Structure 1
């Protein structure tokens, strides 16, 4: 583990812009996004500051950030945050907003705050389980991951209510503008022909509170895998599938949560991996390692647990059609030397990738102060020169595809 920065305030997001600049964008819960270079040096002026718009406290705040696949040309990016705006229903706690921004034409290191456009607004009945992950798929559609609305046990049954957006994964096309909103429904969304019983934005449902996802590159390019935080007994990792029902609140992990309804509402897609609360109790979804500096980490899906600070890895066993999971232990003092260390702030809050596929992590201690780390194999037997050449080729191919 290589510490890059210790000057963060409750960091929750790590992203790259995919524009060839090697910048890391780190978002703080209060509504500020900072830019870091690969040496951990932070820009003097924040990339984005919307603290005046963001409602914080508990699980509310700036929760998601995604850059358009063609960001280098169109300067568009998207954020998901808890809004200070009053909810339409007095019984609701707050609203969350998906909004679009663009970067200043004069300064590529600063967002144009006045460019904000509201794409979607969701009423939130409780303060927790707001989800917040947003990711562009390889299909260029935007995927939005919403929690079940909060409280405990999904008391209002939103996750299985297919006329509600809560407890769902949504998929929208933000490259076209609908008649009454800033997006259209992709024509191959799974429930688009069932508008009487399903909201057409829904791509998958039956989730509790997905927190952080990673997209795989390589031979199986585009697969998305997420951590879904559990209730009483299990934490789970889910592989996103079109039209899937992941079973909440009838199922938790591989086990039943409600015996009367478990498995009786139609096919339920089970997790690829789950662990009990004897091991950890708040999963933080991770990233697929696709870099080349640390070859021994290749093909690993690296994730963690917020409550105990443990790191884990998953490795797919295609022939057995399963994923093998185990704790990812850091090096001890006989292997680690500065700047590497086997310690870090214990409350892991997010993982992210740079443009080369190296994995980063943010975590915090007992206070809101947080740190940014790069996950490093102490052996580090990759060839930096080959990595640089490979990265340049990948970047060229990417922009050729994007036109």
Structure 2
């Protein structure tokens, strides 16, 4: 082939590559927002009006000190033009906006200016093109010829820093409005929120059609407490029982008529000799290291009895560091204080080659004891563990330790780890002397950006506080900043919280949205004015359920990202333990952090591989108890119930109507793309593969 022919071929390939990448960009879903500040904390309620940035009522990311600092910065700019001064003030005060984390977010640089609504936004950003969407143009037209000292509108250097400048006009730096808005406008970053003056503009993306009901199929008879998808991306999952065993199972394709495939007699790991199993105790959580595919590391959270196991020897959570005397706790159901303990241990897959995916069992010996802590009472200890999808740290959910009303107020005690969500670095190995010197509860290290860096009263392990008994938390796989935790209530209310850095979720000053009045409080009370409580985004009153069934108790779920039921897409699913009710939570409007919960019916598919049982006197299937939800690598959602494993399937199989459901394929499954967003992501991945193939063929 001649040089000209080779050049032409390569040029053609480059053109094809550009087209493929363009398709990829078109099909990529925009990021979605959450009320969150630039320091990853939730905004707090204002008691009054900020003297500079205003904001009477509502929430803000600024206190008086931050507001004063912004005033000082503004005054130093010496903006002589009144109209431009007003615009610059709005831009500076965006730091106080409850959505400032998203407004100033950028994967490529640190923004000194928030995303300005741009009338030239692409269609994929779903921003309406009214006057508020041209705020970037307004900023340009108002300030382009005005001198601004230490202007924030500087050409960013690589790494995010602006050019040093004593004074400048916009026209000194930018040649045109187009150049200016390419850098600061909403279209360049495809944001879901942008600044339109003193307010933010949300994405106008329409939610999926309302679900008429949730259709389930029963694919297993076993009773499990945890499910984790195999990190290799296959159709396998790990299931664990409360009694202490973990199995590796294969999930059948939807519509195949198959059931879960696992060998009950050959568990992946059997810890039943180590685990103390009772109604409130057992193997509570499993989590696989983000690099499990190469290192084979995984972690188990369970309870032990110090009277039965010499390895069950952690410090008591009631100790002098938190002004607690174990002798004053008394016994609970015959158990001494801190007889039962919560443990997080590290194990490894047993492999004979470098391919961890081939492992069908684990090494039975513990590699490392990550965490051990004695529990004051016999209930409310959570125990779930998760790895953050973006930071790679372990999150450990811990309840208040039990007894009605958290009498010793552990949840609000910043020195206690009870009633908290902890964030631990399990990649940092510590020596025994380091563990002792740092007063750690095991072999882990503290992430440097944990909230204690801003609040010296807070124990370093703590990420969030004010929880009663967090029962099943999850990250939204499409929006990892959305961290949902269901928290079991006391007498009145079951709640779902959106967890943020340093957030205080109120217990026991509040039970959900209600002020809580403890019957007994030897540990003292917390003043309502002393905390900035973050209230639930979803939940339900106990009075909303049938009292004949039992006390209400929430089971947290997942944001549905599967393709079988497009009417559930993007909605958070949660249920009551007693299997009498299930809800969907919808963010309204999208990206606002405001939710509407809907009680939805559910039933069993006529094609269920294992027939479902019927509940006497009810149209609902008999599930027994809904212990947990699960999610596999296909983003299908499962219910882990007393009477088996159930999967969410196409709504038409139960007679429910979803206008966007597509006809089933030959094997009875929904075709890829039942959700347009899910379809876009799959096609986007295909486009990326095509791009690499083109490069390989051409070069």
87-96 or 230-239, larger mean C-alpha shift: 87-96
Q: 1:256 aligns with which of 511, 515, 519?
A: 515
Q: Post-superposition shift, 1:36?
A: 1.7
Q: Whole-Å Cα distance in 1 between the matches of residues 598 and 385 of structure 2?
A: 27
Q: 1:347 aligns with which of 610, 625, 645?
A: 625
Q: Post-superposition shift, 1:246?
A: 0.5
What do you get for the CA RMSD once the two structures are aligned?
A: 2.5
Q: Whole-Å Cα distance in 2 between the matches of residues 67 and 144 of structure 1?
A: 13
**2:535 paired residue number:** 270
Match of 1:95, SS state, is strand
Q: 1:75 aligns with which of 290, 296, 299?
A: 296
Within a 5 Å distance, the mapping from 1:118-133 to structure 2 comes to 118-133=369-384
Q: Whole-Å Cα distance in 2 between the matches of residues 303 and 272 of structure 1?
A: 13
Match of 1:122, SS state, is strand
Of Structure 1 and Structure 2, which has the larger fraction of its residues in helix?
Answer: 2
Of Structure 1 and Structure 2, which has the larger fraction of its residues in strand?
Answer: 1
Q: TM-score, normalised by structure 1?
A: 0.89
Q: 1:2 aligns with which of 207, 217, 232?
A: 217
Tell me: CA distance 1:113–1:42, structure 2 relative to 1, closer, same or farther (3 Å): same
Q: Post-superposition shift, 1:21?
A: 2.3
Q: Contact between 1:254 and 1:274, CA under 8 Å: does it hold in 2?
A: no
**1:359 paired residue number:** 637
Q: 2:233 aligns with which of 2, 13, 20?
A: 20
Q: 1:228 aligns with which of 455, 479, 487?
A: 487
**2:600 paired residue number:** 328
Match of 1:72, SS state, is helix
1:314 aligns with 2:585: yes
Q: Whole-Å Cα distance in 2 between the matches of residues 36 and 296 of structure 1?
A: 28
Tell me: CA distance 1:344–1:41, structure 2 relative to 1, closer, same or farther (3 Å): farther
Tell me: CA distance 1:261–1:173, structure 2 relative to 1, closer, same or farther (3 Å): closer
Q: Contact between 1:194 and 1:200, CA under 8 Å: does it hold in 2?
A: no
280-289 or 83-92, larger mean C-alpha shift: 83-92
Residues 241-282 of structure 1: CA deviation (Å, up to 9, x unaligned): 110111101100111003974622221010101211012410
**2:347 paired residue number:** 101
1:288 aligns with 2:548: no
Note the residue ranges of structure 1 that are not aligned, 5 or more in a row: 365-369, 398-403
Q: Whole-Å Cα distance in 1 between the matches of residues 608 and 392 of structure 2?
A: 41
Q: Post-superposition shift, 1:293?
A: 2.5
Q: Post-superposition shift, 1:198?
A: 1.7
Higher Rg of the two aligned structures? 2
Q: Contact between 2:451 and 2:458, CA under 8 Å: does it hold in 1?
A: no
1:183 aligns with 2:447: no
1:33 aligns with 2:246: yes
1:116 aligns with 2:367: yes
Note the residue ranges of structure 2 that are not aligned, 5 or more in a row: 1-215, 253-259, 308-312, 317-335, 353-357, 436-441, 519-524, 546-551, 613-619, 653-660, 663-668, 690-699
**1:244 paired residue number:** 503
Q: TM-score, normalised by structure 2?
A: 0.52
**1:401 paired residue number:** none
1:384 aligns with 2:671: yes
